[in-house]
Structure formats: C-alpha cells, structure tokens
Homo-oligomer: A and B are copies of this chain.
C-alpha cells in the first residue's frame, strides 16, 4: 500500500498564561516563571498537521490541501487566532494552556472531521517559539 502523508502549516496569534487556579500566586510563579504573568503574554503559534492516505488516481491528491486547510480554519484557527487561549476558546475551558495541552486539544477537535473527509490524522505539531514545540500522535 502506498500511503502518503500531506502536511499543512497554519498560524495563529494568541494571548495566554500558565496558571493553576488551585495554587497561590507564589507557587504559580515558581512553577511557570514569566509564563504566569497575570496580565498575560502571547505568541505567534505555528500549527503543523500531518494527514495520511492513499493517492486518489483522478486527482493525484491524498486530500486536497485546501480541504484540510478549511477544516483547520473553522475548527481551530477561527477559534484561536487573535484570541486569549485561557478565556476565549470553548475547547480549552478550564485547562492549562501549555503547548502540550493545546496540541492534544487540537487533535481531538479535528480527528473526526479529517476521518469524514477520508484522511487519517497522523500528528499535530504546535510551535510556540522558534525553540519550543510539541508534537502529538494520538492515543496509543
């Protein structure tokens, strides 16, 4: 079987902070450092999604990358871009907004929709800065 992986990059610019509401400010700062700033900070996040499937002979596509981009746009980017990850995003409600948690949450938002369109979600990568990233491959 010739399974091929297509890869799409999207971007979103968001505010967030790392904060555990069960802890006092001191413990939050000790654990999360500058990331716990009460007035928020933010990032230009990159989202990189890999989807695998066989090539459809008529089109030469695994899935039209415009279809994948649209799924990512209405399921993720429209909800995260120019938003506050802690306050504005339904699927991050009451969660730590670490890159780890964000990557897993994005996987859960898009997996079903990609399956419906005929693809198999392989991985969700979120780059928070040029040095810090997270990748998630789904439950094992």
Complexed CA–CA distance, A135 and B51 (Å): 10
A76 within 8 A of B: no
Q: Given the interface contacts A15-B41, A100-B55, does A82 sit within 8 Å of B35 by beta carbon?
A: yes
Which of B14, B130, B133 meets A42, CB within 8 Å?
B14
A114 within 8 A of B: no
Complexed CA–CA distance, A95 and B60 (Å): 8
Q: How many copies of this chain does the complex contain?
A: 6
CB neighbours (8 Å) of A10 from chain B are 131
A88 to chain B, nearest CB (A): 5
A85 to chain B, nearest CB (A): 9
State whether B39 touches A7 (Cβ < 8 A).
Answer: no
CB neighbours (8 Å) of A16 from chain B are 42
State whether A132 touches B42 (Cβ < 8 A).
Answer: no
State whether B44 touches A129 (Cβ < 8 A).
Answer: yes
CB neighbours (8 Å) of A8 from chain B are 131-132
